[in-house]
Chains A and B, each alone.
Chain A
Amino acid sequence: MARAATTADAFNAVAEPRRRQILDILAGGERPVNDLVGLTGLAQPQVSRHLRVLREVGAVDVRDEGRQRLYRINGQALKPIHDWVAAYERSWSERFEQLDAVLEELQAQEVDDGSDE
């Protein structure tokens, strides 16, 4: 089966569970590739491939220190995902506040009607 190219946005980058795992590890602090290989149990070429995708969308940054390449998370690149979830939460919270008002009125009506449903 042909592999579709990974579209360069944060949502696609985190759609892959292994890449989320790598981000979770990096959320705890900067790490060299070898650590990521050890912690994920993946082979180095696979880890490198995932890191490349994450770098392409800016989700991780890399710097050289001596002979090591250290990877770290860049939260700003994941902000679109956070915003998306937050927008969902906001709109439902606001809907539900209106629903509270409707329910209060319905309850008052039931009392007025003497309904004992």
Chain B
Amino acid sequence: MAATSSGTATVTLPTDRQILITREFDAPRHLVYKAWTTPELVKRWWHANRGRVTIAEIDLRVGGAWRYVSVTESGVEVAFHGEYREIVPNMRIVSTEVYEGIPDAEQHAALNTLTLTERDGRTLLTVLVEHPTKEGRDAHINSGMEPGMQDALDLLEQVAVSLG
């Protein structure tokens, strides 16, 4: 695999429509949940070192909305919003995610599933991002079981190595 030391996120593409992000945290899950769902705390990590978060709004109930806006150091505004579909405190949040920077943004909303699992005081966090793209859906229908994407990722890794 790529040089992902412990403590960094891993990103895989389990299917054509999915992105799976996984990471362990050295904290109990109620704190990870708190950091994930409290606007003032979200402002401190969502920026990903690419500027600052100017807006973090969270209406944490089923049907409630969220919206995060960041401004990069070069002044570009990057905004996401969505709606909460399912909430199990400290364990699981299902919500939509719309990237406001693309045409017909609402139609391209992804569905995100956050899960938190605690073991020995540490928390395994996973975010499954499911996109509604046609290519993915068609490939799914046409191909039955589909180990191809894993192979494609292996391939990408080789590509990455070859570019290094």
List residues of chain A with CB under 8 Å of any chain B CB. 12, 14-17, 20-21, 23-24, 27, 75-76, 78-79, 81-82, 85-86, 88-104, 106-107, 110, 117
**Closest A-chain residue to B21, C-beta based?**
A92
Task: Return 27 A-B CB contacts under 8 Å, by A number.
Answer: A14-B152, A15-B139, A17-B143, A17-B148, A20-B152, A24-B151, A24-B155, A27-B154, A75-B163, A78-B159, A79-B163, A81-B156, A82-B156, A85-B11, A85-B156, A89-B9, A89-B10, A92-B21, A92-B48, A94-B50, A95-B46, A95-B47, A97-B49, A98-B49, A99-B45, A103-B26, A103-B35
Q: Is B65 an interface residue (CB 8 A)?
A: no
Q: Tell me whether B25 and A103 are in contact (CB under 8 A).
A: yes
**Closest B-chain residue to A95, C-beta based?**
B48
Q: Is B16 an interface residue (CB 8 A)?
A: yes
| 18 additional A-B residue pairs with CB within 8 Å, beyond A27-B155, A91-B48, A106-B35 | A12-B135, A17-B143, A20-B149, A21-B148, A24-B148, A75-B158, A78-B156, A79-B163, A82-B163, A85-B13, A92-B21, A94-B48, A95-B48, A98-B48, A103-B25, A103-B31, A106-B27, A107-B31
* Nearest CB on A from B2, distance (A): 8
Q: Chain B 32-74 against A: per-residue CB contact (8 Å), 1 yes, 0 no?
A: 1011000001001111111000000000000000000000000
Q: Tell me whether A82 and B45 are in contact (CB under 8 A).
A: no
Complex: A91 Cα to B45 Cα, angstroms:
11
Q: Is the interface of A mostly helix, strand, loop or mixed?
A: helix
* Nearest CB on A from B125, distance (A): 8
Q: Tell me whether A117 and B30 are in contact (CB under 8 A).
A: yes
Contact partner, B163, options A24, A76, A96, Cβ 8 Å: A76
Q: Which 7 A-B pairs give the minimum distances between C-beta atoms?
A: A98-B45, A15-B135, A75-B159, A103-B27, A94-B48, A99-B45, A89-B11
* Nearest CB on A from B142, distance (A): 7
Q: Tell me whether B44 and A101 are in contact (CB under 8 A).
A: yes
* Nearest CB on B from A42, distance (A): 13
Q: Is B91 an interface residue (CB 8 A)?
A: no
Question: With A75-B158, A95-B45 known to touch, is A106 a contact of B21 (CB < 8 Å)?
Answer: no
**Closest A-chain residue to B36, C-beta based?**
A99
Q: Tell me whether A98 and B142 are in contact (CB under 8 A).
A: no
* Nearest CB on B from A79, distance (A): 6
Question: With A101-B44, A102-B35 known to touch, is A92 a contact of B152 (CB < 8 Å)?
Answer: no
